[in-house]
Amino acid sequence: MTTLLGAIGHRGVRLLDGFVLFWVLLWIVLGLLTGHEVQQLTSVSDSAQASARAADSAGQALQSLRDLPLVGGDAGELGDQVRDAAQAVLANAADSRVTIHRLGVLLGISIALIPLTPVLWLYLPPRLVYRADVAALRARLASGPPDDALTAYLARRAVDRLPYRQLSALTEDPVGDLRAGRHAALARAELGHLGLAS
């Protein structure tokens, strides 16, 4: 991948950086939206809790009838059952709310990380190597004009990495120029390819 980055040059790397940044932001936004949408399911547990509270109130009302003659005992027992059921629904609704929150977070993270991990794993290490290489060349060039060894190195890189049409526009025989020590034009082309031409 580092060789590929060197072959596509400064403009190609910038374009690839933009694509990777777009990819990362796209999946982060999709993960956040998915997590948010799952979180909206808590309205179901909120409705269940409201219904359970209403049932609990009804159960309390039935329990208050316990002391009435003839129907009071049965109404009190029914009130106990209604309140027990309402308490169970309240507990389950609270548990489901916590579960929905966890699910929203985990699903959002998963949706973002699953497509991002392979792209970043494959792209970031070579990109960092490429960046360090260009930074080292930039620092060396800032200290003065390139010496013969650096010019020869850059010319060799140009022959190895630049497209043929670009090389043929510089010279009729790039390999011959390299062997003969005519490195200046090839080295300048490689610096331009890396975005380091002055």
Domains of the chain by residue range: 2-143, 145-198
Q: How far apart are CA 188 and CA 196, in angstroms?
A: 9
pLDDT the model gives residue 61: 79
The CA R_g of the chain, rounded to the nearest whole Å, is 35
What is the DSSP code (8-state) at residue 24? H
* pLDDT exceeds cutoff 90 at 161: no
Compute the distance between CA of residue 159 and CA of residue 169 in angstroms, rounded to an integer: 12
Between 68 and 93, where is the model more confident? 93
Question: Which residues are within 8 A (CB) of 112 and not within 5 positions of it... i.e. 6 or more apart?
Answer: 27, 28, 30, 31, 32
**pTM of the entire structure?**
0.71
**Residue 96: both structure tokens together:** 């489901």
Q: Taking 80 as the threshold, does the pLDDT of residue 72 lie above it?
A: no
DSSP state of 145: S
φ and ψ at residue 190, rounded to 5 degrees: -70, -40
